[in-house]
Amino acid sequence: MDPRLVLAVMAGKASAFLIRRLGRGGGTAAPGVVASTIDPAVLDKLARQVDGGCVVVAGTNGKTTTSRMLAGILTQSGRRVIHNRSGSNLVRGITAAFAEQSTVTGRPRGDVAVIESDEAAFPEVVRRTRPRLVLLLNLFRDQLDRYGELDTIAARWGETLRSLPPDATVVVNADDPALATLTEGLTAARRTFGLTDGRYQLDDLPHAADAAVCRRCGAPLRYERLFLSHLGDYACDACGYQRPALDVAARDVQLCGLEGLALTLHTADGPIAVSAGVPGLYNAYNALAAAAAALTLGVRPEAVTEGLARFRSAFGRIERVTYRGRKLVIVLVKNPVGFNEVLRMLEMGGAAPTLILINDLDADGRDVSWLWDVDAERLLDVPVPLYTGGIRGDDMALRLKYAGIPEERLVPLGDLPDALDSFVDDLPADGTGFILPTYTAMLRLRELLAARGVVQAFWEE
């Protein structure tokens, strides 16, 4: 027994209990700070004791959904999973999750860990948890004031990935040219996944795409199929580089409006039909990623199918709630690519009055100029009222005005909670409305709904 570790875990548990008991939040991060103050190596020590190893999930978009999908699949297969389910994905949040899910003697209560990691924290998370498997989803532009340009993150990730030992495995979305290039020639094993179904294609690279050129020679990439932002089947005519062969490929993709999706996974061992109760092509990628990682970990196909079928969206990610007789669908938006995909989903899934809540706090990114990279012009053909609110709601209203949205369709509102109440008042009885918040606006919105008995606090789900 390690007395220092025991004391750190007990202090982390006690601080989480006090924070929640006093109504000061979910205790999803501060307990990690407390535990690490007592034993700076608490995360390292706990992660090392997980018999089945750790899985680190990283990417700009989809981390929370994909890690929850993977944790659900592993649970369905009979594993006991340690998971930072609340989405607190900095080192302190991951440490807090491990402390909470360990015994008071410092033993993790699980045989495998699924760890969602922030992009900037990824190098330290990998160094400290020594993952058995790293799952890489995508690299998009996000919070430039915090992360820097995309190449900055890619360089840091590349150094980290090259440090992985031979017994580790990297499962990577090969439809992302940046990630495909970044994971070439590693000491660790590499397995790839991607789409081959051309049913839902883009005609051209969107304005917010970040990988228009070959990372080997700098020449423009040519896309045979383009699925989402810069994700697709690509080739460079100048140097011959092309998308790697796929170990797990998704075909026969069916997007069923806002109700869900279905697809067929093609593997070396045969096809696997899966479905999930979340909409949108970006969630097809999330389901594909989770399935590819699970299969790499040796999970049976039946558990993959059942685990995804049982999945329900995480808080704020296509979350459906009923409030005052109205149905609200809450969809997080946090960068141009994600916002554009939500707009694409709304176009395909049916129009409804929409409230867009924009904040500019630290967790959102202080610079809201990214709103001008959103293809807001897509809303011209969606004939519904558009409401704006949040700390920077006026910036969103201005972006919509410059997109050509008629003034009679624009309804600027104030900050929460007034914006929520005014929006709901305008919805017809039994009507439906979409709410698109940035991260801190989403947390504040759910805090209000939890106080009114509509949802549980996110750390309780």
Q: How many CB atoms lie within 10 A of CB 218?
A: 10
Take residue 77 and report the two structure tokens written for it.
């297969």
CB of 19 closer than 8 Å to CB of 118 = no
Kindly give the residue spans of alpha helices, DSSP state H, lying in 297-362.
301-309, 336-349
Among 145, 362, 367, 418, which one carries the catalytic annotation?
Answer: 367
Terminal CA-CA length for the chain = 32
Residue type, 210: D
Per-residue HEC secondary structure of 3-48 comes to HHHHHHHHHHHHHHHHHHHCCCCCCCCHHHHHHHHHCCCHHHHHHH
Pairing of strands 112-116, 169-173: unpaired
Residue 210 catalytic? no
Q: For the chain, what is the largest distance between any 2 Cα atoms, rounded to a whole number of angstroms?
A: 68
Which of 170, 167, 144 minimizes the C-alpha distance to 157? 170
Q: How many CB atoms lie within 10 A of CB 238?
A: 15
Question: Residue 155 contacts by C-beta under 8 Å, 6 or more apart in sequence?
Answer: none
Q: How many CB atoms lie within 10 A of CB 75?
A: 18
B/e letters for 93-113, b = 16+ CB within 10 Å, e = fewer, are: bbbbbbbbbbeeebebebebb
As annotated, the active-site residues are 367
